[in-house]
């Protein structure tokens, strides 16, 4: 690939916190990989280090790296070495460049769905009226991006749920709102860690539709693609391989078992390898 | 995080349906502590204010009285020179705040009658009529006092025995402790046999008529202390009579309230009223007198009688009317000085200054400490009340702060995953958010509690001292309590959220899952 990578990982090694006598277990061991714009699936067995990798790349873990280097290449400007970032710099980078979708939607219970979607905009200083209007637009765009299939059971539109609080909507709807929230400020990178592990196939499909619309700039952001990147961690291997068009990073025991820049995986490949 | 979003976020977080109840409980607990503080300290302040005000309105304790109390001059003499009053006035004005010393006046004390006193100094009986005992108890040595011009005691055989003296002892003086003050009392004689009442061991001449210089009788209770020439119709047999006239006369004949000044068994100046002919002939207590005088004042007001301040004669601190002359002090007549102050806080320094004054004969003035003792007692009592109330409020506030902190901790732990997600989205200043929420809960609760505590003070004071004035509203206390509650709320919320706000986003999210 000629385009510069979004993330450049070199000899990334990370141990969990431990004591001097009993050092923490190795979570990542000598990971060197380039992650490019677009969708990259992150696959691996439980405990293989996928979430640790995402936490490090997403700056969610304050612990220092044991060894190695992570460099983020923004769409414009100088590359950013994670080791040089302070607490404030990490928060600023997360706020401006990243979005997160986790296994649990983690919507704020005291805000309505539209207010939840508007939170990332509020954090960047967008005024209340503007950000709420933008949240409504995003919810409508999300509904358009994921129309009810012909003959399917009609589902509630997100825009109709905008005044509902999270506890008043279903799990699938919560997760869809969480996806819209993650992409509301049009981040460069979205980290999705098991976003549909609790969802049925239909809701999974809707979540993927939303990601697809965001990646394609179809949610009305009105600005060119800056190299939108989705790092998708999932145990739903075939779905992930299919969505990532075979570009997957496979992690096994904290090491890179398969580089995403290699030949594409097929959905029916035994991507995770033998179960230990 | 923009300030507007921070405020909106804080309010919505506190008022969300799931959080409303705990917010109300938290604010209510903070408010309760503030209400207890305002009501409690307001009550203590009201009690102290009332006690201090009572000192200024009670003629028994208002003034400072000092005299030359050498045994020889007990009730007699004239050691106060013409210039002593002026010098003491200058002395006091140097000690007290400007304008709080109304005046210093010499007085003469003269014996009126005898009193029976037991060995502990307690007055058993007092009366204007000399005791009839001299007729039935002849002395074997010395003489009975010839009131009103005699001073000293007549001992009985029982008194000699109790004093550890032999039956044939003939002491010339005794040391008697009256209110812990040693008093050297001349012995006038010894009776042949003991008195019928075994508790009474000797007699002491202790009833004085006080003739205040300028014939003015200070009466701070009714603020009718007058000086200078007094209209003849105000005088009744040499004693001041309140100027009750016209419509009031029908209700309270003037003779009913003839007033004289005298000392009591405790050797302290007292005020007493005489009942009119035909009424209960017993002497009134001072409290009765106050009550009656209050009734006179009410009746006078109802009859549109001039207020005491409108009386014609000038007060002590006012110049004499044109053409009027005051009788010049006479040398060798006065044996006491009375000082009058308008501020209770100045009584103690004034008493100390008065006690240092040396008279022309070289003796120091001996100051009656009743008023200063009363003031000290009030101060000590108020300090005790404040300390006790401090404990009550402190323990209450402490328990409530712990409760509030615990509620905030519970809230923080419930929301730690959401906080983690907020941090993942780049939100900072979570500590500020916690402080803002604490300020809101503490501020609203504290203000409401302080406002609720304000009206509680008056009923508490009324319960403690029926009829006492409630005094001004303690806005300063309410403001202080509200501020303290606000600060405590902010501190509790901030510390309760410290752990959650220090977690990394990943750790916070992991914490919840």
Range from A173-182, B37-46, B206-215 carrying the lowest mean pLDDT = B206-215
Judge contact between B205 and B123, C-beta under 8 A: no
Q: In this structure, what DSSP letter does residue B255 have?
A: G
Specify the length of chain A in residues.
276
Q: Do B504 and A62 touch (CB under 8 A)?
A: yes
Average pLDDT over residues B163-177: 77
A204 Cβ contact partners less than 8 Å away, ≥ 6 residues apart: A196, A236, A239
pLDDT tens for A4-19 read 899 999 999 988 777 6
Helix, strand counts (H, E) of chain A: 7, 10
User: What token pair was written down for B257?
Assistant: 């309230």
Q: Please name every residue paired with A9 in a beta bridge, in sequence order, or none if there are none.
A: A33, A70
Residue of A nearest to B2 (CA): A125
pLDDT-derived band at B337, boundaries 50, 70, 90: confident
Q: Do B427 and A95 touch (CB under 8 A)?
A: yes
CA–CA separation, B428 vs B75, rounded Å? 85
Average pLDDT over residues B282-303: 50
- Please list every residue in chain A whose beta carbon sits closer than 8 Å to the beta carbon of residue B15: 110
pLDDT-derived band at B79, boundaries 50, 70, 90: low
Q: Do A108 and B418 touch (CB under 8 A)?
A: yes
Residue B369 has pLDDT above 50, yes or no: yes
- Asked if B422 reaches chain A (Cβ–Cβ under 8 Å), the answer is yes
CA A141 to chain centre: 19
pLDDT-derived band at B70, boundaries 50, 70, 90: very low
pLDDT tens for A52-72 read 999 999 999 887 788 899 999
User: What token pair was written down for A157?
Assistant: 């539109």
Residue B318 has pLDDT above 50, yes or no: no
CA–CA separation, B366 vs A121, rounded Å? 84
The single residue listed with the structure tokens 């509030």 is B404
Write down the pLDDT at residue B512. Answer: 58
Write down the pLDDT at residue B372. Answer: 79
Write down the pLDDT at residue A244. Answer: 92
Which among B15, B421, B426 is the nearest to A106, CB-wise?
B421
Which among A55, A95, A125 is the nearest to B425, CB-wise?
A95
CA–CA separation, A91 vs B84, rounded Å? 84
Residue of B nearest to A56 (CA): B506
pTM of the model: 0.64
Q: Do B428 and A106 touch (CB under 8 A)?
A: no
Q: Is A20 exposed, middle or buried (0-12, 13-18, 19+ CB in 10 A)?
A: exposed
As for the ipTM of the complex, it is 0.89
CA–CA separation, A57 vs A13, rounded Å? 13
CA–CA separation, B201 vs B158, rounded Å? 6
Judge contact between B118 and B200, C-beta under 8 A: yes
Average pLDDT over residues A94-104: 92
Average pLDDT over residues B97-105: 65
For residue A200, is it left (φ>0), alpha (ψ between -120 and 50) or beta? beta
The single residue listed with the structure tokens 């006179």 is B296
CA–CA separation, A186 vs A188, rounded Å? 7
Q: Please name every residue paired with B481 in a beta bridge, in sequence order, or none if there are none.
A: none
Residue B271 has pLDDT above 70, yes or no: no
Judge contact between B415 and B23, C-beta under 8 A: no
Q: Is B173 exposed, middle or buried (0-12, 13-18, 19+ CB in 10 A)?
A: middle
Write down the pLDDT at residue B77. Answer: 45
Write down the pLDDT at residue B427. Answer: 85
Helix, strand counts (H, E) of chain B: 13, 14
Q: Is B165 exposed, middle or buried (0-12, 13-18, 19+ CB in 10 A)?
A: middle
Residue A151 has pLDDT above 60, yes or no: yes
Write down the pLDDT at residue B325. Answer: 47
Which among B420, B425, B512 is the nearest to A123, CB-wise?
B425
CB under 8 A, 24+ apart: contacts of B250-256: B251/B299, B252/B292, B252/B295, B252/B296, B252/B299, B256/B292
Element of type H or E holding B203: strand B200-212
Write down the pLDDT at residue B90. Answer: 79
pLDDT tens for B218-236 read 333 333 333 333 344 444 4
User: What token pair was written down for B394?
Assistant: 């402190």
pLDDT tens for A101-138 read 998 888 998 999 999 999 999 998 888 999 999 999 99
User: What token pair was written down for B490?
Assistant: 């902010």
Write down the pLDDT at residue B210. Answer: 41
B65 Cβ contact partners less than 8 Å away, ≥ 6 residues apart: B268, B269, B336, B337, B338, B339, B367, B368
Nearest to B282 by CA among B492, B138, B126: B126
DSSP string, A121-183: HHHTT--HHHHHHHHHHHHHHHHHHSPPPTTSPP---GGGGTTS-GGGS-HHHHHHHHHHHHH
CA–CA separation, A45 vs A255, rounded Å? 12
Q: Please name every residue paired with B178 in a beta bridge, in sequence order, or none if there are none.
A: B181
- Please state whether beta strands A7-15 and B101-118 pair in parallel, antiparallel, or not at all (unpaired): unpaired
pLDDT-derived band at B317, boundaries 50, 70, 90: very low
């Amino acid at each position: 690939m000629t385009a510069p990578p979004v993330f450049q990982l070199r000899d990334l090694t990370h141990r969990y916190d431990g004591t001097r006598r009993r050092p923490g277990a190795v979570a990542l061991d000598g990971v060197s990989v380039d992650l490019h714009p677009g969708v990259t699936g992150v696959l691996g067995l439980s405990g293989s280090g996928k979430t640790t990798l995402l936490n490090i790349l997403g700056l969610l873990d304050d612990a220092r790296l044991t060894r190695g280097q992570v460099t983020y290449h923004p769409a414009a400007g100088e590359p950013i070495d994670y080791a040089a970032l302070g607490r404030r710099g990490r928060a600023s980078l997360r706020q401006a460049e990243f979005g997160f979708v986790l296994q649990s939607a983690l919507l704020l219970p005291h805000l309505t769905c539209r207010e939840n979607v508007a939170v990332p905009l509020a954090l960047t200083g967008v005024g209340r009226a503007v950000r709420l209007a933008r949240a409504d637009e995003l919810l409508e765009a999300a509904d358009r991006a994921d129309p009810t299939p012909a003959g399917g059971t009609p589902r509630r539109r997100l825009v109709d749920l905008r005044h509902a609080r999270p506890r008043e909507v279903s799990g699938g709807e919560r997760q869809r709102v969480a996806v819209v929230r993650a992409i509301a400020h049009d981040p460069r990178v979205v980290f999705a860690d098991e976003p549909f592990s609790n969802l049925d196939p239909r809701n999974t499909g809707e979540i993927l539709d939303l990601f697809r619309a965001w990646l394609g700039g179809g949610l009305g952001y009105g600005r060119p693609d800056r190299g939108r990147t989705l790092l998708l961690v999932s145990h739903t291997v075939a779905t992930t391989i299919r969505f990532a068009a075979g570009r997957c990073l496979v992690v096994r025991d904290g090491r890179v078992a398969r580089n995403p820049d290699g030949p594409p995986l097929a959905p029916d490949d035994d991507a995770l390898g033998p179960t230990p | 995080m923009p300030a507007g979003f921070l405020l909106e976020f804080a309010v919505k977080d506190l008022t969300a349906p799931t959080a409303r109840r705990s917010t109300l409980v938290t604010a209510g607990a903070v408010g309760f502590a503030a209400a207890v503080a305002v009501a409690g300290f307001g009550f203590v302040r009201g009690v102290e204010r009332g006690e201090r005000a009572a000192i200024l309105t009670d003629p028994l304790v208002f003034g400072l009285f000092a005299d030359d109390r050498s045994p020889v001059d007990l009730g007699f003499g004239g050691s106060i020179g013409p210039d002593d009053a002026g010098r003491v006035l200058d002395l006091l004005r140097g000690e007290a705040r400007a304008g709080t010393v109304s005046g210093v006046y010499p007085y003469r004390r003269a014996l009126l009658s005898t009193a029976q006193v037991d060995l502990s100094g307690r007055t058993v009986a007092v009366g204007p009529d000399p005791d009839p005992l001299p007729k039935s108890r002849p002395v074997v040595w010395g003489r009975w006092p010839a009131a009103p011009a005699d001073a000293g005691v007549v001992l009985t055989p029982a008194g000699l025995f109790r004093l550890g003296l032999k039956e044939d002892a003939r002491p010339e003086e005794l040391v008697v402790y009256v209110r812990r003050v040693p008093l050297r009392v001349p012995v006038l004689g010894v009776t042949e046999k003991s008195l019928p009442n075994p508790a009474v061991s000797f007699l002491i001449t202790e009833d004085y008529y006080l003739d205040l210089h300028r014939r003015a009788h200070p009466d701070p209770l009714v603020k009718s202390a007058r000086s200078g020439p007094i209209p003849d119709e105000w005088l009744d047999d040499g004693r001041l009579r309140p100027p009750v006239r016209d419509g009031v006369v029908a209700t309270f004949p003037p003779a009913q309230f003839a007033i004289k000044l005298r000392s009591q068994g405790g050797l302290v100046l007292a005020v007493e009223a005489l009942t009119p002919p035909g009424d209960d002939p017993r002497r009134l207590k001072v409290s009765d007198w106050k009550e009656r005088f209050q009734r006179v004042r009410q009746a006078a007001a109802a009859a549109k009688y001039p207020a005491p301040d409108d009386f014609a004669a000038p007060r002590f601190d006012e110049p004499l009317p044109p053409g009027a002359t005051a009788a010049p002090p006479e040398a060798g007549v006065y044996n006491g000085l009375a000082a009058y102050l308008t501020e209770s806080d100045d009584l103690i320094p004034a008493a100390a200054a008065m006690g240092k004054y040396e008279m022309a004969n070289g003796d120091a003035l001996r100051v009656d400490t009743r008023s200063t003792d009363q003031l000290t007692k009030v101060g000590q009592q108020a300090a005790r009340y404040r300390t006790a109330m401090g404990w009550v409020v402190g323990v209450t506030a402490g328990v409530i702060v712990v409760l509030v902190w615990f509620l905030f901790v519970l809230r923080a732990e419930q929301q730690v995953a959401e906080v983690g997600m907020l941090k993942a989205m780049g939100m900072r200043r979570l500590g500020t958010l916690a402080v803002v929420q604490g300020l809101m809960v503490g501020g609203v609760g504290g203000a409401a509690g302080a406002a609720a505590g304000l009206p509680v003070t008056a009923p508490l004071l009324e319960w403690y001292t029926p009829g006492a004035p409630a005094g001004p509203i303690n806005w300063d206390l309410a403001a202080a309590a509200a501020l303290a509650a606000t600060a405590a709320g902010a501190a509790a919320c901030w510390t309760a959220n410290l752990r959650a706000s220090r977690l990394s986003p990943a750790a916070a999210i992991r914490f919840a899952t």
